[in-house]
Amino acid sequence: MPLDDTKKTATLYRMVMPDHLCPFGLKTKALLEREGYEVDDHWLETKDEKDGFMEKHGVKTTPQVWIADDRIGGYEEVRAHFGKRVKGGDETTYQPVLAIFAVGALMALAVSWAAFGTVFTIRTIEWFLAISMTLLGLQKLQDVESFSTMFLNYDLLAQRWVRYGKIYPFAETLAGVLMIAGALVWISAPIALFIGTVGAISVFKAVYIDKRELKCACVGGGSNVPLGFISLTENLMMILMGLWMPAKALLM
């Protein structure tokens, strides 16, 4: 299909094989089209075509994009060309933990509506904190080994008793689940209070006293969430629940 000379055009080479459709090729094509480009889309349909293309142009990856006579590169280079944020391996971001808190809040509102026919009660706040604890624990449980390794960088108890780093995700998740149910407060509250207090002291010392720049293990190992205020918030949240749940049980 001939390209319209009145439109901005780009040439794209991407892998479209019977056993592999390159996702970055699709993302690159969609990005170019969103930027108003008509795409001259060339498919590399066999391994020989792909290898020949890369050898001819001296590139190591596909997709590859040309705009006019200039080779822009692959997906990340095209994003950079259009002034969009490029994800880097060491880039710090709060997005994972903010997403967890946002989903926790929405789930708490949904449960409150289902249970009481209203979106806001005291239980809504309890559910928000408990659900957030559970989601944070779940993130850590995806790779306990990786989490425990990152956790050792700053947690004071884990540095003295290494196994604590592997127990922590299970303890946080258990406390969160029990608090969602409002059951076995005599188990959930002490767990939350203990791990929250140790965590808060550890984070405060590492960040505000020792002035260390570390990554937080709060959403699991390998994350780029910086250790700091949000990390401290997770621990303060557990302390609050650890104090509130038994106090509420005594008052009822």
CATH number of the domain encompassing residue 28: 3.40.30.10
One-letter amino acid at 231 equals S
| Predicted pLDDT at 217 | 83
**Do 41 and 121 belong to one domain?**
no
Structure tokens at 20: 């592999």
Tracing tokens 């929405």 back to the chain, one arrives at: 106
Alpha-carbon distance 232 to 65, whole Å?
A: 44
pLDDT digits (tens, 9 = 90+) for 26-48: 999 999 999 999 999 999 999 99
| Predicted pLDDT at 229 | 84
**Do 108 and 64 belong to one domain?**
no
Residues forming beta bridges with residue 199, ordered by sequence position: none
Query: How many other β-carbons are positioned within 10 Å of the β-carbon of residue 142?
Result: 13
| Pairing of β 37-44 and β 20-21 | unpaired
Q: Do residues 148 and 221 lie in contact, with contact meaning Cβ atoms separated by under 8 Å? A: yes
Domain assignment present for 88: no
- The domain of 76 spans 8-81
**Do 185 and 122 belong to one domain?**
yes
pLDDT digits (tens, 9 = 90+) for 188-216: 999 999 999 999 999 999 999 999 988 88
Identify the CA nearest to 50 among candidates 41, 60, 40.
Answer: 60
**Do 127 and 75 belong to one domain?**
no
| Predicted pLDDT at 6 | 59
Domain limit, last residue, from 42, 57, 81: 81
pTM value surpassing 0.85 = no
Q: Do residues 226 and 216 lie in contact, with contact meaning Cβ atoms separated by under 8 Å? A: yes
| Pairing of β 8-17 and β 20-21 | antiparallel
| Helix ranges, the chain (H) | 23-34, 47-57, 75-81, 95-116, 122-141, 144-151, 156-160, 164-181, 185-204, 229-251
| Predicted pLDDT at 213 | 86
Identify the CA nearest to 74 among candidates 46, 55, 54.
Answer: 54
DSSP code at position 216:
-
Looking at residues 110-139, what average pLDDT do you find?
Answer: 94
pLDDT digits (tens, 9 = 90+) for 207-246: 999 999 888 888 776 677 888 888 898 899 999 999 999 9
**Do 156 and 106 belong to one domain?**
yes
**Do 125 and 176 belong to one domain?**
yes
Going by pLDDT thresholds of 50, 70 and 90, the confidence category of residue 1 is: very low
Q: Taking all residues of the chain, what is their mean pLDDT, rounded to a whole number?
A: 91
Domain limit, last residue, from 49, 81, 113: 81
**Do 116 and 231 belong to one domain?**
yes
**Do 137 and 25 belong to one domain?**
no
| Predicted pLDDT at 5 | 54
Domain assignment present for 3: no
Q: How many domains does the chain have?
A: 2
Domain assignment present for 212: yes
Q: Do residues 149 and 221 lie in contact, with contact meaning Cβ atoms separated by under 8 Å? A: yes
Residue percentage of the chain with pLDDT more than 70? 94
